Amino acid sequence: MDKVILYTDGACSGNPGPGGWAALLMYGDKKKEISGGSKETTNNIMEIMAVIEGLKALKRPCNVEVYSDSSYVVNTFEEGWIHNWQMNNWRTAGKKPVKNKELWEELWELTQTHKVKFIKVKGHSDNEFNNRCDELARAEAEKVIIAAEK
């Protein structure tokens, strides 16, 4: 399997509010940036969407290292939360419905196509790839705000 490095980030102006997501895919010496936005969303939704869209951009099954500054996204997989949610009929440990269930289900399906490892990075620090994704995600949120003002 080909090895792909995937950096992701989400941003939101207000929570909920206009938001953006971004993904940076790296394979060998190739880089691809993708991003998008939404008029009414949350930061967590944008963080999940960034990973979904990054994985959907892959043309064949790959060995993927996903780097995210979202503890929510990383812990869902690396701490096994998603398995617990599935076993508990998509309920949290506190018996509440899991938020963003449809997105988690879509992301789960994508992780069954690819071999995925989630790695936590510190946000807003010296990681150039995380910073680039943050910049792209914030730019997408800004595009949504500007479009709404017109």
User: Of 37, 54, 134, 140, which is the active-site residue?
Assistant: 134
Instruction: Tell me the C-alpha distance between 4 and 26, whole Å.
Output: 6
In DSSP notation, 61-111 reads -EEEEEEES-HHHHHHHHT-HHHHHHHTTSB-TTSPBPTTHHHHHHHHHHH
CB atoms under 10 Å from CB of 110, counted, come to: 18
User: Of 47, 53, 54, 114, which is the active-site residue?
Assistant: 47
User: Of 14, 79, 80, 124, which is the active-site residue?
Assistant: 124
User: Of 10, 19, 37, 54, which is the active-site residue?
Assistant: 10
Active site residue 47: yes
User: Of 19, 20, 54, 69, which is the active-site residue?
Assistant: 69
Active site residue 9: yes
User: Of 9, 19, 37, 140, which is the active-site residue?
Assistant: 9
Active site residue 10: yes
Known catalytic residues?
9-10, 47, 69, 124, 134
